[in-house]
């Protein structure tokens, strides 16, 4: 937990225009673990994996539901847009870089080594393609961009997340504000639509038209939560939902060899949007169930280690343990393994890596020459009239609220980012980190 002044965290927005600080959104943690379990259920029940035969004949009833479990990935992306926008508000680009690297890499590195060891010792389900060099390349998390085999099948989604981080870093570098987030959502939507017809591979890889609607809707939902819902934000969400529903058919075909209807997947996506809308409107603010925080912490390590390790276990025990009991027991074991990874690997290594990166970033700041900011015409005019230096004579309007372009608030923000800001008593807003960063 850290504290920051309202002026700092609003990016220049007047404190009077803000809602009071909301409590931690434990419901997001709950939604994350549900999405992770959907993906796990899909891999264990809907795919051949370690079963050696079509699971439709093994789990005739459960298979009908499990075949749509991959939609948990879409829910992840929807939550990610919300959480990343929330966690970057009032933070510098360096803070954003440190937060993301220390959050995603430590558990990922260990998961790669564990998965590679399991599939090397028991290659009946999966073999290590590319050898040792491929494993080393996977440690970068950039293997998808290089056309290198993923050690585990779920890692392709991490490269999608990384590309989102890189693009949103442009907003973070210039200071996250309401207007910049809206502009980012609009521009990304336009580019994604253009990429569908442009037939340019590089543009398609970065515009990500299949998944862009979820990130954009997540950002819009957070703007609703931070400020208030309005027609513009609802319009962005509605457009994103329609685009997402349009693309679902392709995702269904990519994730199954059977001819199955699209409507269940579309319904799941619609329900996810409705839940996020309720979260954005504050409906779940009173749901302060702290155990959901622990459940949410298991999401990332569970996602990283469950697929090929789990399928290998299924292969080894499928003829010894009743199959429903095997699936249920394996999910419990994977949750316990995820908890151990979170406690013994993710938390300590993330803390150490974060401290190392902060130290390195501080050295960069110390060796970067500082330039004096040129005086703005408004500041000169204010000084000539005897007005306090830093007061902006022309406030920027936003929905009936005033945003200060430069001056005292901007100076406080810069001081906060460099760690030199001394906060006045009684002007504090607690800032939680629901993404675990």
pLDDT tens readout for residues 220-233: 999 999 999 999 99
In degrees rounded to 5, what are phi and psi of residue 433? -125, 80
Q: Above 70 in pLDDT, residue 407?
A: no
Q: Above 50 in pLDDT, residue 213?
A: yes
pLDDT tens readout for residues 156-187: 999 999 999 999 999 999 999 999 999 999 99
8 A C-beta contact, residue 81 and residue 429: no
Q: Give residue limits of the domains in the chain.
A: 26-366
pTM, to two decimals? 0.80
d(CA 341, CA 424): 40
Q: Above 50 in pLDDT, residue 239?
A: yes
pLDDT tens readout for residues 118-161: 999 999 888 887 788 999 999 999 999 999 999 999 999 999 99
**Burial label, 378 (beta-carbon count in 10 A; 0-12, 13-18, 19+):** middle
Confidence at residue 22, expressed as pLDDT on a 0 to 100 scale: 57
Six-digit token string for 203: 């543009």
Give the lowest-confidence range in 14-28, 50-64, 66-80, 362-376: 14-28
In degrees rounded to 5, what are phi and psi of residue 287? -80, 80
Q: Above 90 in pLDDT, residue 397?
A: no
Q: Above 70 in pLDDT, residue 403?
A: no
């Amino acid at each position: 937990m850290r504290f920051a002044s309202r002026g700092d965290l609003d990016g220049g927005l007047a404190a009077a225009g803000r809602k009071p600080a909301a409590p931690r959104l434990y419901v997001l943690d709950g939604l994350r673990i549900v999405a992770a379990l959907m993906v796990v259920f899909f891999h264990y029940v809907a795919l051949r994996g370690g079963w050696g035969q079509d699971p439709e004949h093994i789990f005739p009833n459960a298979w009908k539901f499990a075949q749509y479990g991959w939609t948990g990935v879409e829910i992840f992306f929807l939550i990610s847009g919300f959480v990343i926008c929330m966690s970057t508000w009032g933070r510098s680009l360096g803070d954003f870089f440190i937060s993301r690297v220390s959050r995603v890499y430590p558990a990922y590195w260990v998961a790669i080594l564990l998965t590679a060891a399991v599939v090397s010792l028991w290659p009946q389900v999966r073999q290590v393609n590319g050898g040792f060099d491929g494993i080393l390349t996977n440690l970068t998390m950039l293997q998808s961009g290089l056309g290198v085999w993923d050690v585990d099948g779920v890692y392709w989604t991490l490269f999608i997340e990384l590309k989102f981080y890189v693009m949103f870093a442009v907003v973070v570098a210039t200071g996250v504000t309401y207007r910049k987030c809206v502009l980012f959502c609009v521009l990304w939507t336009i580019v994604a639509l253009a990429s569908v017809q442009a037939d340019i591979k590089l543009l398609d890889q970065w515009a990500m038209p299949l998944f862009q609607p979820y990130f954009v809707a997540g950002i819009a939902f957070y703007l609703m939560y931070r400020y208030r819902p309005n027609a513009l934000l609802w319009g962005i969400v509605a457009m994103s939902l329609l685009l997402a529903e349009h693309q679902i058919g392709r995702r269904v075909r990519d994730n199954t060899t059977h001819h199955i209807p699209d409507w269940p997947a579309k319904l799941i996506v619609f329900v996810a949007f409705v839940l996020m809308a309720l979260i954005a409107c504050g409906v779940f603010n009173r749901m302060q169930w702290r155990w959901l925080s622990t459940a949410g912490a298991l999401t990332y390590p569970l996602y990283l280690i469950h697929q090929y390790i789990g399928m290998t276990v299924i292969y080894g025990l499928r003829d010894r343990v009743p199959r429903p009991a095997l699936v249920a027991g394996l999910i419990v074991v994977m949750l316990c393994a995820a908890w151990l990874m979170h406690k013994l690997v993710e938390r300590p290594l993330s803390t150490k890596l974060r401290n190392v990166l902060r130290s390195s970033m501080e050295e960069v700041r110390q060796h970067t020459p500082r330039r004096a900011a040129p005086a703005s015409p408004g500041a000169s005019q204010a000084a000539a009239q005897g007005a306090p230096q830093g007061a902006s004579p022309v406030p920027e309007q936003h929905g009936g609220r005033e945003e200060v372009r430069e001056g005292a608030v901007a100076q406080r923000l810069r001081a906060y980012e460099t760690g030199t800001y001394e906060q006045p008593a009684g002007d504090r807003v607690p800032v939680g980190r629901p993404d675990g960063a």
